[in-house]
């Protein structure tokens, strides 16, 4: 049992006895609610950002967005998809182990092998066509869609050194082949798509882009890219938001009144001091987290303000 003095805003108290204080937990921040469209329709783009998104749309070129973590690179993709009614963003999170094939499609050879041991009656019942064992990846799904989609390739700078150029080849060709389907005698197969239960028809194993997707690649600047790759992308550098834009972002995410303005003023100035004067790499969502707590009138920002802000505003770089 904890002997620490309990604060009134605490839900968890370190008590030996169970209690029902979880019922006092308020609703989460709007941007943390599952299935919310708050992020999409509260993003505030700059004129430069709107210009370059439209340039990428007109030219059917990938948009490479660079900038510090937390400046809204991924949020821009969601905002565009939301406004233009392009469906849910197809999101591919890149890691050091990511491969081009992973973005295009996957083939469940083991599942098919296991199903081949079923009786003829069971195979017929389960519809054992090879297409059932093929699932398009996020890039493959974007290409196979009848309408334009938004494809977010997140943190491309974390990839293997060859991946950008491998992607570039597919972007230029606007098509790719699924060998497992191409070598079969039958012409048409229905395959699964990424992130949904929908199926699409693939003819002779070739996936051709029907509507070139809006491809948005993000980078935190951890590496440089080959000149050939950069030449074929529209490059957008997102700047860190200034005080005026941060104020607009806060008001877009949270319902504020005149009294709230006074509460956020001190926290906003302290955030800017840490970020700009002390060269601490902080993101906008870290500011929003602190503002959210302040607006709840919790003792947290009265009694342990500095300690709490320190934990929320940890630098994103060493």
- The CATH architecture assigned to 38-237 reads 3-Layer(aba) Sandwich (3.40)
Q: How confident is the model at residue 277 (pLDDT cuts 50, 70, 90)?
A: confident
Q: How confident is the model at residue 128 (pLDDT cuts 50, 70, 90)?
A: low
Choose from 82-91, 270-279, 286-295 the range with maximum mean pLDDT.
Answer: 82-91
Residue written as tokens 């950008």?
164
**250: pLDDT strictly greater than 90:** no
Question: Higher-confidence residue: 185 or 247?
Answer: 247
pTM over 0.85: no
- Asked whether 161 and 226 are in contact (CB, 8 A), the reply is no
pLDDT of 124: 45
Angstrom distance (rounded) from CA 286 to CA 309? 9
Nearest CA-CA partner of 181 in 116, 117, 129, 120: 129
Give the angle 57-158-231 at the CA atoms, nearest 5°.
40
Question: Once rounded to an integer, what is the mean pLDDT over residues 166-180?
Answer: 93
């Amino acid at each position: 049992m904890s002997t620490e003095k309990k604060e009134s805003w605490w839900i968890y108290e370190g008590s030996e006895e169970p209690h029902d204080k979880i019922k006092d937990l308020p609703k989460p921040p709007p941007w943390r609610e599952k299935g919310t469209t708050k992020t999409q329709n509260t993003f505030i783009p700059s004129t430069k950002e709107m210009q370059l998104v439209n340039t990428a749309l007109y030219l059917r070129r990938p948009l490479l967005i660079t900038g510090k973590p937390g400046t809204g690179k991924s949020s821009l993709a969601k905002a565009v998809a939301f406004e233009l009614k392009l469906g849910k963003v197809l999101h591919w999170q890149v890691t050091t182990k990511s491969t081009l094939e992973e973005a295009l499609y996957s083939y469940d050879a083991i599942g098919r092998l296991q199903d081949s041991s079923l009786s003829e009656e069971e195979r017929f019942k389960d519809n054992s066509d090879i297409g059932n064992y093929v699932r398009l990846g996020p890039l493959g799904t974007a290409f196979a869609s009848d309408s334009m989609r938004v494809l977010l390739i997140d943190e491309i700078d974390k990839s293997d050194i060859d991946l950008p150029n491998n992607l570039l080849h597919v972007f230029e060709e606007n098509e790719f082949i699924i060998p497992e389907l191409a070598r079969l005698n039958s012409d048409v197969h229905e395959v699964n798509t990424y992130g949904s239960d929908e199926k699409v028809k693939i003819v002779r194993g070739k996936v051709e882009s029907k509507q070139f997707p809006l491809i948005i690649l993000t980078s935190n600047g951890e590496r440089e890219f080959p000149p050939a790759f950069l030449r074929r992308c529209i490059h957008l550098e997102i700047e860190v938001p200034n005080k005026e834009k941060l104020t607009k972002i806060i008001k877009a995410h949270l319902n504020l009144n005149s009294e709230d303005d006074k509460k956020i003023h001190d926290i906003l100035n302290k955030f800017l001091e840490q970020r700009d004067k002390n060269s601490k790499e902080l993101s906008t969502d870290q500011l929003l987290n602190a503002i959210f707590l302040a607006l709840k009138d919790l003792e947290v920002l009265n009694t342990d303000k500095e300690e709490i802000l320190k934990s929320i505003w940890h630098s994103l770089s060493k």
